[in-house]
Amino acid sequence: MGITPHWSADDMGEEPVRAEQLKSLMARLGIRILQTELLDRALTHASIAAETQEPVSDYEALEFLGDAVLGLAVAHHLLEHKPNSTPGEYSRIRAALVNRRTLAELAQKLDIAPTIRLGKGEEQSGGRHRSALLADCVEALIGAIYLDQGWEAARDFVIHVTHEEFEEALTQDVQLDHKSRLQHYCQAERIPLPKFELVRSDGPDHRKQFEVEVLLKDQPHGRGVGLSKKEAEQNAARVALERVGVYRA
């Protein structure tokens, strides 16, 4: 389904129409911004400035602010819900949420594209559908909420609209294999990557069993057994993660 532009440079003189549009958007998103000029600015692209003699403020500064607020809100939420994670795990989950693809998808879910003010050239070149532009507007919207309503309102909005994405990121992180998790742990702790050493392999070829020991900083941190070296390494890594307090079975 295509997006029908609801606002363009031709509408610059229709302040009542724009005001009603912004009011409708706030009601739909469940947000309150008293300084509606902030919301208007958050959804105004720089391309519109070339098509009017009136001064126009675009979303770029608000996008810069919103990016910082978004990152802090996600980090705060992660700390509250995964208090025993490593810095590496926090960074990985946050990166899954704070990126252009996720934000563009969020913009589509919130359906903010029709309210974005664009110049004719940007409109004709498909700017209303561009992921980067949509992502920028989401961040600018967060920045506007922060300036108008403060930190708690901005944080609550971020957590509310990213709830599904947050749960998905947590699920994907849990599903990350043990060996990769152990490697991420070592990188976060700035220690050498783990070493896996084959301790033994016995049994018939069709049913051979392997035992592997994992070393962190050349010290044994666990052994694992499996029907392949890869399976044994995964099991050894799981034991090591339990011992360093990262993994909770």
Active-site residue identified among 40, 89, 139, 211: 139
Active-site residue identified among 63, 67, 148, 213: 67
Asked whether the beta carbons of 146 and 69 are under 8 A apart, the reply is yes
Distance CA 155, CA 7 (A): 28
Distance CA 244, CA 249 (A): 13
Q: How many CB atoms lie within 10 A of CB 77?
A: 19
Q: Is 67 a catalytic residue?
A: yes
Distance CA 231, CA 15 (A): 65
What residues have CB less than 8 Å from 166, skipping those under 6 apart? 74, 77, 97, 159
Rg from Cα positions in the chain: 25
Per DSSP, the three-state class of 247 is: coil
Question: Which residues are catalytic, by number?
Answer: 67, 139
